[in-house]
Amino acid sequence: MSTPSWSTLGRVSPAALTAARLTLHYAAQPLAAAAYAALPTAPDHGHSNLLWSFDRGGFVGRSLPSGARAFLDPVRLRVGGLDGGGAELHGLDLEGRTLAEAFEALARALRGAGEDTIDEHLTLPDYDLPASPLASGGTFPREAEPLAELTRWFHDAQAALAKVAANLLAGAEVRGWPHHFDLAALRTLDPELDPESARSVGAGFSPGDGSYTEPYFYVSPWPAPADARLPDLEPGAHWHVTGFTSAVLPASSVVAHPDGADQERVVQRFLDDAVSASLALLEG
């Protein structure tokens, strides 16, 4: 498949995406719940992770035993089921609906797609999520333009991360993680060791979180090098060293370039340079 073209970013300010990001974070949880209900638990919880689909313009979950998958369309704000051939059989538009209704609708959709292992009542996975009225019975809002802008960010991030993963991260798969709601690819330099001891470099994209209210790209070397060893980064990027160590390129530094081709170059150069520098730190 050819590389998707870059979608120009900045039609909605990065600072105005927080509410839409929380909406999508919670909208992704039914997909994770379906995986926890139907698939064996992987040590890294990778069974629950998601794929960004360029064809669907959204997230799809792991294939379930019947071949069915769950999907989230972020622009339509819709969850539902896909059959083994990828056809949409059932779905629910979430605007004005509660998270409980989303769980119930997805369970019905997947059972209708042939997934008999799914219980009729899916539940929220056992991990912390950011505060939102959706956690206590609030209904999903649908802000069309912010949702469309976040979709463009995920689209571009998937394409950029796939390139750096193929070139510098040993072909690592780019996956979406519903707990923190980010896209990430990880290269482990010591596969024989446990993850806490093994050297690794992860590259990813977050739509925002407790550390940054705006979207950002990141590259994380592990174990974290001493601050004094961290190399200089391109203008607009910086090293985050409080709580975790990552090279960070915030969305505001990307949309400071109004031209889409320039945005793509800035992001790809950041990822390539930061991953190369992180590998050199760990291998030096």
- Residue 114 included in any domain: yes
- The residue ranges of the chain whose pLDDT is under 70 are 1-2
- 24-53 pLDDT per residue, tens: 999 999 999 999 999 998 988 999 999 999
* Domain termination site, one of 103, 118, 136: 136
Q: Is 60 exposed, middle or buried (0-12, 13-18, 19+ CB in 10 A)?
A: buried
- Terminal Cα-to-Cα distance of the chain (whole angstroms): 36
* 123 and 170 together in one domain: no
* Domain termination site, one of 118, 136, 154: 136
pLDDT of residue 215: 98
* 109 and 128 together in one domain: yes
Biggest CA pair distance of the chain: 57
Domain of residue 63: give its range. 14-136
Residue 248 dihedral angles phi and psi, to the nearest 5°: -130, 135
C-beta neighbour count of 188 within 10 angstroms: 17
pLDDT of residue 44: 87
Question: 88 - beta bridge partners?
Answer: 82
* 258 and 207 together in one domain: yes
SS3 assignment, position 151: helix
pLDDT of residue 114: 85
* 107 and 173 together in one domain: no
- Residue 4 included in any domain: no
- Residue 3 included in any domain: no
In the chain, the number of structural domains is: 2
* 100 and 175 together in one domain: no
Can you give the pTM of this predicted structure?
Answer: 0.96
* 101 and 162 together in one domain: no
Q: Is 255 exposed, middle or buried (0-12, 13-18, 19+ CB in 10 A)?
A: buried
Question: 71 - beta bridge partners?
Answer: 60, 80
- Residue 278 included in any domain: yes
Whether the CA torsion 238, 241, 247, 251 is positive or negative: it is: negative
- Residue 50 half-sphere exposure, CB side, CA atoms within 13 Å? 31
pLDDT of residue 245: 97
For Cα atoms 244, 247, 252, give the angle at the middle one, nearest 5 degrees: 110
Q: Which two tokens stand for residue 91?
A: 């779905």
Q: Which two tokens stand for residue 147?
A: 């949702």
- Residue 154 included in any domain: yes
pLDDT of residue 119: 78
SS3 assignment, position 257: coil
Q: Which two tokens stand for residue 282?
A: 């760990």
- 219-269 pLDDT per residue, tens: 999 999 999 899 999 999 999 999 999 999 999 999 999 999 999 999 999
pLDDT of residue 2: 57
* 25 and 126 together in one domain: yes
* Domain termination site, one of 79, 102, 136: 136
